């Protein structure tokens, strides 16, 4: 069944939370969340010592509909593929790479690795996962519907640890 809200599977979210929690053992971190949708990662990380969390959201209506300004210190309405990414300790690409071509996803991954002082986290479907527009947002369409674990490891350089579920895989690239 296709989603009716701009949110992804819960798979892997706890893994990302725990990995970021490990990074905060040395002190608070800053986070850049690319494609916050309904604010999943801001809500997920609220119990951790986060100095600042910034979201880059491509679809302005989500900012109001999902009250993103209530969860993020800053929301930038922009296409992350074209925007300058602010430096942060942690960059999250939470279910965004499948919404663009493979070359665009790889270019965004490279930008995220340059912006991240400590780590980048990628969450992405690892099975055939078609999706169309949601709430009139054309950016919700899954452009690449057939990512899988092996293809992700071959495509996105620098991945160290990962976890895969039945629908979603999550991947970590440490940058420091």
SS3 169: strand
Domain count, the chain: 1
**What is the C-alpha to C-alpha distance for residues 111 and 81, in angstroms, rounded to an integer?**
8
Domain limits for position 108: 13-88+96-118+129-146
Strand 88-94 to strand 116-125: parallel, antiparallel, or no bridges (unpaired)? Answer: parallel
Q: What is the pLDDT of residue 140?
A: 61
Residue 167 has pLDDT above 50, yes or no: yes
Mean pLDDT over 119-148 rounds to 73
- Is the pLDDT at 142 greater than 90? The verdict is no
* 82: its two tokens: 């074209």
Confirm whether 139 is domain-assigned.
yes
Q: What is the mean pLDDT of residues 82-95?
A: 96
Cα 42 to Cα 48: distance, rounded to the nearest angstrom: 10
Confidence of residue 42 (pLDDT cuts 50, 70, 90): very high
Say which CATH number the domain at 111 has: 3.40.50.150
Q: Has residue 155 been placed in a domain?
A: no
For the whole prediction, is pTM greater than 0.85? yes
Confirm whether 47 is domain-assigned: yes
């Amino acid at each position: 069944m296709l989603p009716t809200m701009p949110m992804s599977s819960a798979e892997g979210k706890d893994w990302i939370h725990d990995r970021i929690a490990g990074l905060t053992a040395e002190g608070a971190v800053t986070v850049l969340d690319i494609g916050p949708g309904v604010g999943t990662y801001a809500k997920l990380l609220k119990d951790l010592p986060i100095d600042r969390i910034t979201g880059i959201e491509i679809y302005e209506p989500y900012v109001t509909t999902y009250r993103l300004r209530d969860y993020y210190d800053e929301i930038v309405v922009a296409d992350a593929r074209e925007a300058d990414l602010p430096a942060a300790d942690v960059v999250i690409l939470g279910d965004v790479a499948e919404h663009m071509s493979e070359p665009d996803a790889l270019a965004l991954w490279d930008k995220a690795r340059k912006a991240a002082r400590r780590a980048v986290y990628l969450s992405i479907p690892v099975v055939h996962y078609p999706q169309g527009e949601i709430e009139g947002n054309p950016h919700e369409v899954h452009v690449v519907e057939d990512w899988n674990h092996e293809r992700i490891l071959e495509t996105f350089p620098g991945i160290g640890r990962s976890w895969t579920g039945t629908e979603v895989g999550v991947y970590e690239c440490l940058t420091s």
